[in-house]
Structure formats: structure tokens, C-alpha cells
Amino acid sequence: MNFLADESCAGPVIRALREAGHDVVAIAEVAKSATDEQVLERAVNEKRVLITEDRDFGELVYAPVGRQPA
């Protein structure tokens, strides 16, 4: 499985997934300080499952659906 690990993802989790044979790209290694929007866009473009402990991603994914124009 292909994963994208946000900067909030702990190193031991990334190592364990890699040792289990998964393809894991860690934002901390390839795009440190990327915005949440950039991280989400990369996950979508690369068809990777995003791993994060950052609750802000829920707002990026779900909130736009219910928003009405001002």
C-alpha cells in the first residue's frame, strides 16, 4: 500500500510501515513545512493514503462540501 505520512506522523510508525513492505513517503523527508493543502494535494495526486494526527485535515476534506458561497 502507498502512504503519505504528514509531519505529525511519528517516526516509529513510518519505519514499521516501511519494514512491513509499504511504500511510505514522509513529508518531513521530502517537503518539510508544506502546508496542509499541499500535503493533501500530494496525497491525492500520488494516490496515497494520508496518515496524520492533525485534525485540520478533516476541515479541508469535509467542510467545503457543506459551505455556501457568501
Q: What is the DSSP string of 3-54?
A: EEE-TTS-HHHHHHHHHTT-EEEEHHHHSTT--HHHHHHHHHHTT-EEE---
The answer, yes or no, to whether residue 8 has pLDDT greater than 50, is yes
> pLDDT of 27-55, one tens digit each?
999 998 898 889 989 999 999 999 988 76
Residue 38: what pLDDT?
92
Per the structure, the count of domains in the chain is 1
Residue 36: what pLDDT?
86
The answer, yes or no, to whether residue 24 has pLDDT greater than 70, is yes
Domain that holds residue 10: 2-66
The per-residue pLDDT of the chain, averaged, comes to: 86
pTM: 0.80
